[in-house]
Structure 1
Amino acid sequence: MPQEEIILYDLPRREMEKGPWSPNTLKARFALEFKGLPYKTVWIEYPDVAAHCQKIGAKPTGKWPDGTPLYTLPVIQDPNTDAVVSDSYAIAEYLDAHYATPRSLIPAGTEGLHAAFFKAITDNAFAKLFPIIPAAVAKLLNPPSAEYFVRTREAQFGKLDEFCPPGPKREQQLKEAKAGLDIVEGWYQKAGKDTLYLMGDTPSWADLIVAAYMVGMKRMQGEHSDEWKQISSWNSGRWAKLAEALGS
């Protein structure tokens, strides 16, 4: 067990009482909580992410369209080992490798299966839900982050209000997302008809990935939004149940 709190860098919002919203940082948050590790949150506004990551030695997780390094959250900084780790998947691997706890995120022997699951659910479902996200995110951020987010995302996708507006285009996008999650539901069914988790009675990193995305969707779109009402009803409510069971 770490003696000092691990630092989790996360993205704030205007209404903090409504909870962390980013699916990616929620993955890291849920991983820390799943393993019972003490941690604290440091909030970083979007325009400050790159400079702060460079300051603490966090690696970029990709590249912008122009080829410059892309720095993203989550990042954790572990004062017990002096490690700085970027990317939620790498964070999960790090926590398992350095902290033996009663529950493993990625049980030994399932590393390849978890990697395949992450790629498959991203392609089949999360990518289909993504278009409804940017406009919602822009509305929940603090002004400095909102300006940065809109400017950088509109450079990639065009006007956010026109990217996937409410109406027929959004309904079609949700229909495609449901079709993707229907495929994922089939994988879950293999674990048993009345089983909530992918590996049976015990949750794992795969389930936390899904829970983080669904909690994020609920908080980005709004609990009473039509989008969340639809998503939470799909597949006998499995996605809402996972969010409730593993989310916070």
Structure 2
Amino acid sequence: MSRHSSRPAAPIITLYDLKSASPQPWAPNIWRIRFILNYKRLRYHTVWVEFPDVEATLRAIGAPPSSVKSDGRPIYTLPVVVDPTRNPRAPHILANTNNIAEYLEASYPARPVFPEGTRALQTLFVHYIQEVFVKPLLPIMVPLSHQSLPERSQSHFRGGGAPGYPAGREQAWRAVKEQFDFLSVILDKNAGDGDGIVACGHEVSYADFALCSVLIWIQRMAAQDGWMRIREWNGGRWVRLWERCKAYMDEY
């Protein structure tokens, strides 16, 4: 017997992620947190949860709701992070992607994802990605993501009927390309004092992780119809961004 065998294992962070039929995680909001954990070299493991079990699972661990409806009812969504590394008896339990990102940056300041002086601009950039950039993708990606869920999770949404792929496929992808073209023009403004690929000059940051999380979603749900298109757009810019972020795509 090793003389170290009785030493308790050090607590590590738990990331609650969405279970799918694919062995690879794909949900973009959750990938943003996975990127930060990997970039900061924090030890963590993943707990996979099916859609029908999300609320019950999160209530059981004492997670806060990610938001609240206008009538006051709580909304429970993933990701959720449980961090017992500071105090195993009273771990930090956090919901909402942006809240988790802020917590991880404040608690683990080494290897910052918000370089000094960029927090406000990055927050606006990420808001744009969430609220504007992804909108034309939703009619394409939501049906494909639904198909990738386990049967039980698919059934959970069938009360309103399974979502279908848009009839005007090429028109839908043209609307997506308009957003990519616009963002490419904006990022080109960094070419004079940066590398023109990442959002904050030379080093990857939270903004890049938010955008690359969308690329992962497309690559894993629409590898042929989507990612093969996008990798050719804007002179291969998005493949170069993917390569810059690839070192932080570990899945634990």
Long gaps (5+) in structure 1: none
Could you tell me the TM-score, scaled by structure 2's length? 0.84
Q: Distance in 2 between matches of 1:66 and 1:240?
A: 43
Q: Distance in 2 between matches of 1:111 and 1:43?
A: 31
Residues 70-118 of structure 1: CA deviation (Å, up to 9, x unaligned): 21111100012411111222111111100121x2111232221111111
Q: Distance in 2 between matches of 1:148 and 1:187?
A: 40
Q: Distance in 2 between matches of 1:144 and 1:66?
A: 29
Indicate the residue corresponding to 1:191 in structure 2: 190
- Given the alignment of the two structures, is residue 96 of structure 1 paired with residue 105 of structure 2, yes or no? yes
Q: Distance in 2 between matches of 1:187 and 1:212?
A: 19
Indicate the residue corresponding to 2:142 in structure 1: 134
Could you tell me the TM-score, scaled by structure 1's length? 0.86
Indicate the residue corresponding to 2:38 in structure 1: 33
Cα RMSD for the two superposed structures? 2.0
Question: How far has the Cα of 1:179 moved from its partner?
Answer: 1.0
- Given the alignment of the two structures, is residue 160 of structure 1 paired with residue 163 of structure 2, yes or no? yes
Letter in 1 for 2:60: K
- Given the alignment of the two structures, is residue 4 of structure 1 paired with residue 11 of structure 2, yes or no? yes
Which of structure 1's runs of 4+ aligned residues deviate more than 6 A? 64-67
Question: How far has the Cα of 1:65 moved from its partner?
Answer: 8.8
Letter in 1 for 2:178: A
Corresponding residue SS for 2:25 = coil
CA contact (8 A) 2:83 2:93 kept: yes
Indicate the residue corresponding to 1:87 in structure 2: 96
Q: Distance in 2 between matches of 1:138 and 1:38?
A: 30
Richer in helix (by share): 1
Long gaps (5+) in structure 2: 1-9
Decide which structure has the larger Cα Rg and report it: 2
Corresponding residue SS for 2:11 = coil
Question: How far has the Cα of 1:159 moved from its partner?
Answer: 4.8
Indicate the residue corresponding to 1:54 in structure 2: 59
Report percent identity of matched pairs.
35
Indicate the residue corresponding to 1:72 in structure 2: 77
Question: How far has the Cα of 1:41 moved from its partner?
Answer: 0.5
Indicate the residue corresponding to 2:203 in structure 1: 202
Question: How far has the Cα of 1:174 moved from its partner?
Answer: 1.6
Letter in 1 for 2:107: H
Q: Distance in 2 between matches of 1:67 and 1:130?
A: 27
Q: Distance in 2 between matches of 1:78 and 1:233?
A: 40
CA contact (8 A) 1:125 1:178 kept: no
Q: Distance in 1 between matches of 2:235 and 2:132?
A: 19
Residues 33-66 of structure 1: CA deviation (Å, up to 9, x unaligned): 0111010001111111011111222222235698
